Structure 1
């Protein structure tokens, strides 16, 4: 179910509101260009500034528009376990295929607290779970021993991880402890090529918002073992990976999308701010190097 190029979809806004029409068009564009899965309400989707009604609406629209063409892995995490459970249940009702559950942020739970949190959710939801470890944002780090124990407890429920720790040694540790069938996805676009050699099978990506075809081609080459082709594409994409974080994400990605499509507004929600001219110039240069132009 989980492999290849999986964008954490940017959520389009217009005049302060969710732009449903643009989102539907964006989903079709992604699928038409080889995307192998969709993540609504991830970090790049500005889930932290969506209210609960918007959060559930975005997931429902994504599931409806994708119409089973690719799996939908709905961002459903929270720093509050009961709120996360609510998101999980709403995502299932909406037709999502799986759940992306970030480590609880701000609270700084212990590893025992993480075991309790994810076990509670696994026991009360029916959909497969992708753990999301991004300690640079959450402060809390889901340690490998906790990942392995969660998969041991719930082998048919906690089936994957998106790891954005930046520590590629964890891929090997997870593989040894949880087995080769435990699905490992990167959360760091620049590290994906190396991750494939170690046992990762795809990426939940920021860059794929802007370059879905290139990202899909890259993943297909890496998955088939054609590392010469994968390296060549990776080098085209590498400046774009960096440009996507020239300023706080997803402002650079939304600027890039507004350059590609006249129907995708670059609007972001505070405290994220629109890109500066300097950041826009970095994005422009990276898009040109990657051969990406307006549709």
Structure 2
């Protein structure tokens, strides 16, 4: 059983390679898992937004979690995304992830609809109660248009198996407020979900990050965390600045294609994005190469 202390460090939301029919590609997924594990990451998160979770039916989601659990083989905790528009579907995904052997769940706010605070509380409460697994809340208001407020985090943090939140928001003040209202709760962890704010989140007492760029540059992202933890504050800040040009490339194509493009350019063949998303333009791919060369990720 996963311990609360295990929720820490760098947890990449791994990309999901697909075959020509846009089903999960097992060999490609194993490659990505081993690439990030070789980089020293502290967890693996399958079926996040970088993993195009929204693109897969239930069978494909189950397959992705199964492959990840088997390939990781206990080396680090596996976090499985259990995100959907309805509570019923999230519960179905939560139960599947538990059965398949995931260590924890990550649950995004519903998308498309706009539940009020009470409805959101009831949603997360119901999903948490449907499983024995620890649940990490996932706030990504830019993508879902729903924001988990500070007062809602305070309430949800009192539910036994809701153990933390990943904040993918450019509103860094909100991350600080999450930390403030939960600082007396040792069983609740706050993680950065925005790769610009990894160092800042650690400095305010956060536990680490769920970083899309760790798909591509796991060693560099791990460097920010490890150096910070060991007391090398300057080294951690330097690694954070070094990472920023890679995070800046997100705008080179439609989300989430860019991290897939980077891995392809690095020779880790992960194939195509799921349509309607398409590959970056030739010009942007050349820009991307320059960034990867500068980071010593390709020649």
Q: Could you tell me the TM-score, scaled by structure 2's length? A: 0.93
Aligned partner (choices 192, 198, 202) of residue 204 of structure 2: 198
Aligned length: 291
Greater displacement, 91-100 / 282-291? 282-291
Q: Which residue of 2 aligns with 1:149?
A: 155
Structure 2 residue corresponding to 1:249, chosen from 229, 246, 255: 255
Q: Which of 39, 42, 63 is the equivalent residue of 2:45?
A: 39
**2:289 aligned with 1:288, yes or no?**
no
Structure 2 counterpart of 1:59: 65
SS of 1:10's partner is: coil
Residue in structure 2 matched with residue 85 of structure 1 by the alignment: 91
Gaps (5+ residues) in structure 2? Answer: 1-5
Q: Provide, for residues 88-127 of structure 1, a one-character-per-residue CA deviation record: whole Å limited to 9, x for no partner.
A: 0000011100000000111110011100101111111110
CA distance in 2, matches of 1:23, 1:32: 14
Q: In 2 relative to 1, CA 224–245 (structure 1 residues): closer, same or farther, beyond 3 Å?
A: farther
* TM-score normalised by length of structure 1: 0.95
- Give the superposed CA RMSD: 1.4
Which residue number corresponds to residue 54 of structure 2?
48
1:237 is aligned to 243
Q: In structure 2, what is the equivalent of residue 120 of structure 1? A: 126
Partner of 1:166: 170
Q: Distance in 2 between matches of 1:225 and 1:245?
A: 33
Task: Tell me the secondary structure at the aligned position of residue 106 of structure 1.
Answer: coil
The 3-state SS of whatever aligns with 1:14 is coil
Counterpart of 1:6?
A: 11
Structure 1 gaps of 5+ residues are none
How far does the alpha carbon of each residue in 1:203-245 deviate from its partner, in whole angstroms, 9 at most, with x for none? 1111000001111112111223312111222222110011133
Match of 1:19 among 17, 25, 32: 25
